[in-house]
Structure 1
């Protein structure tokens, strides 16, 4: 394996879009249908994670679970993202990426629906099943983008990340109103988010019919990937910025409720922050790829995340919307840049698939410690000051690895 430095923007763009091997040249019969399928799948990769926090207080009250169990519900799906993401490339090689995504979408929908039972064991099982599904699909989609849209990588990664953030925002903002509309039944509000997963599975099935999956062909492993410094820099950037994202998804609403906001307003603020990520996620990859280096983009997005989070926790409540928007710009941009780096730093879809598996499996396993640590710190201190300090430390570390990963180099198999 070698790491080559790029000298200008065109070199980066060319290597990012070059169909280097036969496996990258699978023709799309219906490109628009492929885009629709990608968007619908991406919309379902965060509602299972962001829908719980707005009704967490009611869930704890009705189930009688402890704060440790509540922390486990926010941590287990993120941990499963990492643990199950590592097997995604092997599943794709054996069965084909598209077929695996279809089956796992159904599994994801079943996990979300399971939460409607309303007991802690069902909530935990549903969170685990959903997290496993999200982890597998999340690893498989970036290589498909590189294979199917080699000349529009930055645009399509932006569209993918935008849809992912939109799904998170919708679930964060609509779950509490759904609960009220259902007469206070949080079980139905949580189970509702299985319906979009079934719709996405139907759309993906239509796309899958008659399609040959080149990603499903056998590939030799990328030698030296797990000892490559650049691969680890991308992995740590992905993992640390994801830890911040899951802290916000899992705990921001309870933090704001402790600041005096009612449940619906707290959910609305989180939803507004996540909705801001939609625009940031679309724009960031295109801005970041205008130059050979993405280091500035990595550092700037983490800086916005830190400033926005501190503002949400400590600035006057009347300014909460401003800080929520800044937080959303930072987090949406950071996640989009992290995913784009996987594609930009890979010489072909084979490298992209295995780098995606490494960065997301290890990264999300690391990220799962974030919401769990916040739950422990809050239970220990009774306030959110220690959690704010943890957020700051993780944000600075993520910024450092973003600068390193953003340097114009590439990984070759």
Structure 2
């Protein structure tokens, strides 16, 4: 029997029954009459109202009135100085499945990844290979290449399926006694394939290697349980599903068992044991604070904190359930409307191994993406031929997805199809 194509009424009914519907009111609505749908929350989430309020308060009250005293005034829940670990613990508990004292917020994803990779390689002396995926996100590949050049290491590239992701067999094939680190993305940025984080971590450990996971497309969208899976290191951005704002700082996780030997390469005063003593040599802080380098970005940290609170309140399981429902709607409409127009679904069909976006591929995707954005359907293009339809479960509605797919059908139908 042929599948029944979801109707607009079906989408509206799903929104009425949505247990997360009220969370949409926690975000600022765009002042854009021409916006049909915002389906790029997997690149930049919408701003929480609480972030705008908190920024105004911190600028006028803390910075404006208390000035430099705000660094150290108040308790651990208030003072600026403790923000990297305070917000890190909030992320750990509500988003990452990590006990307190293992996550800090600092720097960009690229810098955090560099720190984590260099620290992990240093923990495996005598091993001279890094394993990663040829289709990993560019910054991951570039950082790996740079570290390999710096330290004289060899990169073992996995040639994964770009419409899928890395498999256990592919990882096992390149592991050896020479492997120092395996670094992969939990959710593939192009296809949304969810890697088997627990299984691949075990494979790496069985070979004596450490893991560094990129959680940019999973943090805040799908369950992550770093402690239970015994992941060694993880990094991730906060401006996607955590809605922390453009350029918001990233986080880095280091499993507690590694803290005693943890040595990261960017030694700054904030990561020192006694920062205000201004000692002649760098003595690293104990625990996760040693992953810090320079002065924390206090204003930017506000967005991370407020976004993490909303995700924790909503619950990652409920967020994941809605993400599955929304991406299933994308796939169902793509099958009915877009495959006959020459598209393919360049993401896993099994929702259990698909994150919170679906890539729709066609040869003219670059030009079509520009037309869609001009028509008020905000998606993004990923070379060579992919249009990513990203759903952000806290803010995206089923009706929004349905109407966006209808616009894609209309514009794709009057353009080149191959």
Pairwise same-fold verdict (TM > 0.5): no
Higher helix share: 1
Higher RCO (CA 8 Å, separation ≥ 6 residues): 1
